[in-house]
């Protein structure tokens, strides 16, 4: 669930990791390519070295001229044999290549002068030692170690600087996105508070971006909802007052009757009317989603007694098989109303006018004799569901029960025992 709640953040993080990973791989490949290209460019210098040595052999120039020609190309001979051995032992071989060198020499005879070519197998090695580049030219006849002061080993610092700069830009962009998304998280919290019934929360924010526009539109919608709620409350108060006034007058008139039996009958009628008015108000409150549940721990036996008292029926018609210490966390007024409606329906549609209430595991079962329902339960939890004849109407009873159970994270279930002809309506917790 937490992953779903942070899907946008996780998507941005995934994009960041993919970008950094792709960029790192690209720079790593560029590092290898640049280093190899740098080495190749320097290694080509060995052809210059061979040309200098070839010219030296052909002209039989002095050692001083040879070293001067090498110095022009920033190449310096290492005469110290011990130093050469150290370099060969500890240096890193950057590139090595074998080849054949063709040298020419002039020879004098008594009769004439002639030129002769010599082909030698040679090998050129490019070495890195103490952050310097060395060329080691070797053949069967001689070998030489040259220091190249013109070139240096490949340094990745420029590439690393570019890499760090690019990564810094990406991370900065990521932090900027998080900063821009922060109001969205605050907006989600405010919407959750508003959905929980906090009508005082304000969505209004400063700004002209998309999130600010959405927040301000929500604030405008909230003002309209508050206005509608106030209008609804005023309407309900007025209509309840207008309906209860004639009931109160009727009760006063009833007290003037001289026949006790009629007086009792009228009192029950007015009590029933007042109970129906209160139930209509409760239906509107629950179904509109603005019922503020006051959940506490209550004994189930007390909730059932409250429902029987609300139904104004004889306790002898309701069989109760419930552990006196069994408790549930609920809103007493709403849950007692749901129990009252189930008992009312059970007595109304049972041929013996008896209802049994008991618990099975964590379920609350209402059992009465009668025929099986003609339609699925979903048909009867709709408001003012009627069958033929009209006296079989379930009215708003099951509709209100279903709404109350949903607000308590419970569902209404139904089963019928075909052998004993018993209907069972069950309050089932979802978890």
Domains of the chain, by residue range, sit at 2-40+157-185, 44-148, 211-287, 295-429
CA angle 251, 254, 258 (to 5 degrees): 160
Tokens encoding 412: 């209404």
The 3-class secondary structure across 82-140, one letter per residue, is HHHHHHHHHCEEEEEEEEEEEEEEEEECCCCEEEEEEEEEEEEEEEEECCEEEEEEECC
Tens place of pLDDT per residue across the chain (431 aa): 455 666 777 888 888 899 889 999 999 899 889 888 988 888 888 788 877 777 776 666 777 887 888 888 888 888 888 998 898 899 998 888 876 555 554 444 555 554 545 555 678 888 999 889 998 888 777 788 889 888 888 888 888 999 999 999 999 988 888 887 788 778 878 888 877 767 778 888 787 777 788 888 888 888 888 787 777 777 777 777 777 778 788 878 888 877 788 888 888 888 778 777 777 777 776 666 555 678 899 999 999 999 988 887 888 889 999 998 999 999 898 899 899 989 988 888 888 889 999 999 889 999 999 888 888 888 888 765 555 444 444 456 788 888 888 888 899 999 999 888 899 999 999 87
Alpha carbon distances (Å) from 6 to 181, 182, 199, 212: 11, 12, 26, 20
Spatial CB neighbours of 375, under 8 Å, sequence gap ≥ 6: 387
The C-alpha R_g of the chain, in whole angstroms, comes to 49
Query: Tokens 């003012």, residue?
Result: 384
How deeply is 208 buried, as exposed, middle or buried, from its count of CB atoms within 10 A (0-12, 13-18, 19+)?
A: exposed
Question: What does the alpha-carbon distance between residue 186 and residue 203 come to, in Å, rounded to a whole number?
Answer: 9
Question: What does the alpha-carbon distance between residue 244 and residue 250 come to, in Å, rounded to a whole number?
Answer: 10
pLDDT for residue 185: 78
Question: What does the alpha-carbon distance between residue 219 and residue 118 come to, in Å, rounded to a whole number?
Answer: 95
CB atoms within 10 A of CB 368: 24
Are 178 and 150 contacting, i.e. CB atoms less than 8 angstroms apart?
no
CB atoms within 10 A of CB 267: 15
Query: Tokens 């020419």, residue?
Result: 104
Peptide bond into 398 cis (omega under 30): no
CATH tag, 295-429: 3.30.565.10
pLDDT for residue 425: 95
Alpha carbon distances (Å) from 186 to 173, 205, 209, 364: 21, 11, 15, 41
């Amino acid at each position: 669930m937490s992953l779903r709640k942070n899907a946008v953040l996780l998507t941005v993080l995934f994009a960041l990791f993919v970008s950094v990973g792709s960029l790192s791989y690209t720079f790593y490949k560029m590092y290898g390519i640049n280093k190899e290209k740098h080495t190749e460019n320097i290694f080509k210098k060995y052809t210059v070295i061979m040309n200098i040595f070839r010219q030296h052999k052909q002209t039989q120039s002095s050692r001083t001229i040879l070293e001067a020609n090498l110095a022009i190309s920033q190449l310096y001979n290492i005469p110290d044999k011990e130093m050469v051995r150290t370099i060969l032992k500890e240096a890193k071989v950057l590139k090595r290549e074998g080849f054949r060198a063709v040298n020419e020499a002039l020879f004098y005879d008594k009769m004439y002068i002639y030129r002769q070519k010599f082909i030698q197998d040679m090998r050129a090695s490019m070495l890195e030692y103490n952050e310097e580049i060395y060329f080691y030219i070797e053949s069967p006849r001689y070998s030489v170690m040259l220091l190249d002061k013109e070139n240096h080993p490949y340094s990745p610092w420029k590439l690393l600087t570019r890499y760090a700069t690019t990564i810094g830009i990406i991370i900065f962009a990521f932090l900027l996105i998080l900063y821009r998304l922060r109001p969205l998280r605050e907006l989600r919290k405010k919407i959750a508070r508003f959905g929980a019934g906090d009508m005082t929360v304000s969505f209004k924010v400063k700004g002209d971006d998309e999130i600010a526009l959405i927040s301000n539109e929500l604030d405008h919608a909230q003002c309209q909802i508050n206005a509608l709620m106030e209008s609804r409350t005023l309407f309900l108060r007025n209509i309840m007052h207008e309906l209860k006034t004639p009931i109160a007058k009727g009760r006063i008139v009833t007290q003037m009757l001289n026949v006790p039996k009629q007086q009792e009958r009228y009192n029950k009628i007015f009590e029933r009317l007042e109970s129906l008015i209160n139930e209509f108000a409760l239906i509107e409150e629950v179904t509109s989603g603005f019922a503020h549940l006051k959940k506490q721990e209550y004994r189930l036996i007390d909730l059932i007694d409250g429902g029987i008292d609300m139904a104004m029926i004889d306790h002898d018609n309701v069989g109760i098989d419930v552990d006196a210490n069994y408790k549930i966390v609920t809103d007493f007024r709403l849950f007692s109303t749901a129990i009252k409606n189930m008992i009312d329906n059970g007595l109304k549609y049972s041929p013996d006018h008896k209802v049994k209430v008991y618990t099975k595991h964590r379920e609350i079962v209402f059992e009465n004799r009668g025929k099986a329902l003609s339609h699925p339960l979903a048909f009867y939890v709709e408001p003012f569901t009627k069958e033929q004849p009209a006296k079989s109407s379930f009215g708003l009873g099951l509709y209100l029960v279903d709404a109350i159970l949903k607000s308590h994270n419970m569902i209404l279930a139904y089963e019928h025992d075909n052998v004993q002809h018993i209907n069972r309506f069950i309050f089932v917790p979802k978890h």
